[in-house]
Amino acid sequence: MNTKEVINIEKLVYSIQETNHYFLNQAQKQVNTALTLRNWVIGFYILEYEQHGEDRAAYGQRLYKEIVVKLKKVA
């Protein structure tokens, strides 16, 4: 390989690395956004379930333990 080919290969490798890094970061951001939205929606479901339209709910550890048991049966 001559010097020009080496430089071009180094540029190619650098471009591939940068592209890969950029899209990995984008994927991580999208996953983080999706998980945040998922958690918000699950919290909303729990809130609606417990409050039954009331302003406040009186729930505690019982509900969470019951949810965990049922989710483990599905998994």
CA atoms within 13 A of residue 50's CA, in its CB half-sphere: 18
pLDDT of residue 58: 62
pLDDT band, very low/low/confident/very high, at 19 (cuts 50, 70, 90): very high
pLDDT of residue 55: 66
So where are the chain's domains? 3-74
Measure CA of the first residue to CA of the last residue in the chain; give whole Å. Answer: 55
Q: Is residue 38 predicted with pLDDT exceeding 90?
A: yes
CA–CA separation, 42 and 63 (whole Å): 13
pLDDT of residue 26: 97
